Amino acid sequence: MAVTLPLAVAVALVSIFTQPGGNVLVQIGPLEATLEGLDFAAQVVLRLFVTAAALTLFGMTTAPRAFIVDLERRRFSPRLAFAVGALLETVPLVIARARTVRDAQRARGLYTEGGFLRRVAAIVPLVGPVVIGSLHQVEARSLALDARAFGRPGPRHMLWVPHDSAFERLARWLLILGLAAIAAGVSVGLLPGLP
């Protein structure tokens, strides 16, 4: 939410003011907020939240190791499988890092409480160390992994396979069929589509 919300606000503001259309709601200097813009912004924000929610749900319900093992089993490139799994792992690492960065800067007298502007100003000393540090960590990790032959092409014999129950297989098929049905319904005009 902390990431999605500012992004959504930024996108919404841009959309409201830049979408072409005739129904002007508010005028601020040269910028016109239009009804069409509001409509567009609402859709974009909605899509953004749905995507974020889906990714979060995926991250919360999928164990990285199961995911990677399964991708490799289905003959996806091991490097790709690892990259995706590493991505899932990275988010909590970055969040943890952000916390310690925040602690370090607070200990140097940075005020993180207070009014909105103060909080915004407080972000500057936080971004750099989080990003650079995370990049360093990624670099260090990828070296260590290169040394363990993660980049080696070719088949692997996994130690264990994720348990794939009949129920999960059925659920997957139903979801895919449902998605196909919705897509078909939209294209045929039975279901309302998004513009």
Partner 1 sequence: MIRCEGLVFDYPDGTRALEGLDLRIEAGERIAITGRNGSGKSTLVRHWNGLLRPSSGCVLVDGVLTTGRRVAELARTVGMTFQDPDRQLFAGTCGREVAFGARNVGLRGAELNEAVDDALSVVGLAEKGTQNPYDLGPSRRRLLALACVLAMHTPVVVLDEPTMGLDAREIGRVESVIAQLAATGRTVVAISHDARFVAASFERVVRLDAGRVVADGPASPARG
Partner 2 sequence: MLELRSVAYRYPGYRRPALDGIDLTVRDGEIVGIVGPNEAGKSTLCLVASVLAPASIGGELTGDVLLDGMSVRGQRPHEIAGRVGIVFGSPTSQLSGITGTVLEEVALGPVNLGLSVAATVARSRAALEALGIESLAERAPDRLSGGQTQLVAIAAMLAMGSRHLVLDEPTAELDPEGRQLVGDALGGLAGSGTAVLIAEQDLGLLSSICTRLVAIDGGRLVFDLPIADGLRDRRLVDLGVARQAVPA
**In the stretch 101-120, what mask flags binding to partner 1 with x, by CB under 8 A?**
x-xxxxxxxxxxx-------
Of partner 1, partner 2, none, which one does residue 141 interact with (CB within 5 to 8 Å by kind)?
partner 2
Site for partner 2 in 147-186 (CB under 8 A): 147-152, 154-159
Quick one: which of 35, 86, 94, 126 contacts partner 2 (CB under 8 A)? 86
Query: Which x/- pattern, by CB under 8 A, does the window 57-86 give for partner 1?
Result: ------------------------------
Evaluated on CA atoms 16, 20, 22, 28, the torsion sign reads positive
Q: Which of 8, 93, 10, 98 is nearest to 59 (CA)?
A: 93
Angle at CA of residue 57, ends 102 and 48, nearest 5° = 75
The yes or no reply on residue 96 touching partner 2 (CB under 8 A) is: no
Question: Taking the CB of residue 40, how many other CB atoms lie within 10 A of it?
Answer: 19
Residue 65 binds which entry of partner 1, partner 2, none, CB below 5-8 Å type-dependent? partner 2
Strand intervals (E) in the chain: 24-28, 31-34
Does residue 55 bind partner 2 (CB under 8 A)?
no
Q: What's the closest the beta carbon of residue 138 comes to partner 1, in angstroms?
A: 14
Sign of CA dihedral 18, 22, 28, 33: negative
